[in-house]
Amino acid sequence: MKLVKKALGIVAIGMAALALTACGKGSANNDSSKPVHLTWYIDGTPQKDLKKVNKAVNKYIEPKYNVTVTLNQIDWGEYDQKMGTLANSGQKYDLAFSCSWLQSYNYLNNARKGSFLDITKYVDDSSKLKGAINKNFWKGATIDGKLYGVPAQKEISATEFFVWNKALVDKYNIPYKKIQTYAQLEPWLKEVKEKEGITPWFVNESYSNPTEFDQLAVTDGFDLEGNKNKVIDRYDTKKFQSKVKTMRDFVKKGYVNKDASLVTANDVVGRKWLVSSTQMSPLDTATIKDTWKTDVVVSPMTDSVVTNSSATGGTTVIGANTDHPKEAFKLLKAVNTDPKLMNMLAYGIEGVHYKKTGKDTIKWMSAHERYTVPFYMFGNYFNLYHQDGASADEWKILKKYNEDAKASPALGFSFDTSKVTSQIAAMQNVDSEFKKTLNTGSVDPETALANRDKKMKAAGSEKVINELQSQYNKWKKSNK
């Protein structure tokens, strides 16, 4: 009898141990009746109604996905540093926004450091998610054959567009859609300057004289209008040098504002101008119109090119130390495949922040100002309702734009900078010294380009170019 009781006791202890395991870290790999709570960090100005929207999101996802989440929004100026510190400390979190344009919390660098969970198997096992997003997004997000995040399906290319003042375009009958080069642009700058008495081209500090170039290390990369397989500094390409020389000429002729290296894009408001430029997608015209307080039309300055950087312009990752990898991925998958959830995260609460005006159209309500977030913090744009005034075909237009964009030959190649870290840091300092003044025509290009070249070589640019070329050659050979 004692033996029977002892055996039953051992079984009970074993079952208790299993139950404890299921409630602990092991819950990441086991279904449980108790919802798993996740943490999610996003960038942007903290919204007044974030907690209210968060509560509504949990009310929806708890019964459907057996998870809840806390959305933590960190302001633009603080997010990068705080998340970089969080990742370096090894602190646990579940989901977070990362991208190519952050520094401390950069997607490529942190994936390489082991800060993000490898989700390759999860994505490969989810045909619904994988099939919902353009293959070039996945290719651009792949690092050494592995995936560490789900890219937001937005515009796939970071294309610079001419932005035209529509009133002057109509007045002078300017064929703006056919204008891509400075030579095509100049006659109109001349005519409008002479007849309107204004400085026709408003240029700001971020202008880069765009060319079709895949920039992989500071300004080193591949000239997609030249030798596509040879690493070169963009500032050494003939097309770029021709552009900065023309830009200087335009400044001297009074076609471009002399304070270009000192002003931001939004400083265009209140000025008289014919044309300016910005990076955008073909769907951003209404946003530009509202921001710049002018009716505008737009045209691309170059063909659209897909690079690793553009494909990972908005990516959601899972922290490497999460206790709940399966649940975190379940929510991430839902954000990209469940329209109701994506619209709730992006737009807020129906009947509070917006109202439906049709099956997939909405109109903002007054409370909208209490919840405005960048949609690329979350997921798939193609699941969003159409805002009031937007084209019913906007997602078809964006889909075609993404499909038509040319893929860089280096798409999917990730440069390992570990052997040239100090050189890259020194090169970034040199680039910062010359970038704004050279690109805006504020200095003599001949002298500035020569001085920049000397300083870049002193910083170690040749070593970086050789290392980048070597790694690319090996990658290309193995990916034939």
Q: How far is CA 99 from CA 84, 171, 311, 415, in A?
A: 12, 42, 9, 16
Return all residues near 426 (Cβ < 8 A) that are at least 6 apart. 459, 460
In what side-by-side order are the strands of the sheet with 67-74?
67-74, 36-43, 95-98, 315-318, 149-151
Domain residue spans in the chain?
35-155+310-405
Angle, helices 339-347/50-65, rounded to nearest 10 degrees: 170
Mean pLDDT by 10 residues, the chain (480 residues): 36 37 40 87 97 98 98 96 96 97 95 97 97 97 96 95 98 97 98 98 97 96 96 98 98 98 94 96 86 94 95 97 98 98 98 96 96 95 93 93 96 95 97 98 98 98 98 93
The answer to whether 209 and 244 are in contact (CB under 8 A) is yes
| Distances from the Cα of 360 to the Cα of 385, 387, 395, 448, angstroms | 5, 9, 12, 53
Return the closest-CA partner of residue 141 out of 169, 163, 116: 116
Which pLDDT belongs to residue 390?
87
pLDDT (0 to 100) of residue 32:
59
Give the pair of three-digit tokens for residue 71: 């959305």
How much is the pLDDT for 462? 98
pLDDT of residue 281: 87
pTM: 0.86
- Does CATH number 3.40.190.10 belong to domain 35-155+310-405? yes
Q: What is the pLDDT of residue 162?
A: 97
Which two structure tokens, joined as six digits, stand for 297? 């039309």
CA atoms within 13 Å, Cβ hemisphere of 245: 12
So what's the pLDDT on residue 23? 38
Q: Write the DSSP string, 353-367.
A: TEEESSSSBEEE-GG
pLDDT value for 87 = 96
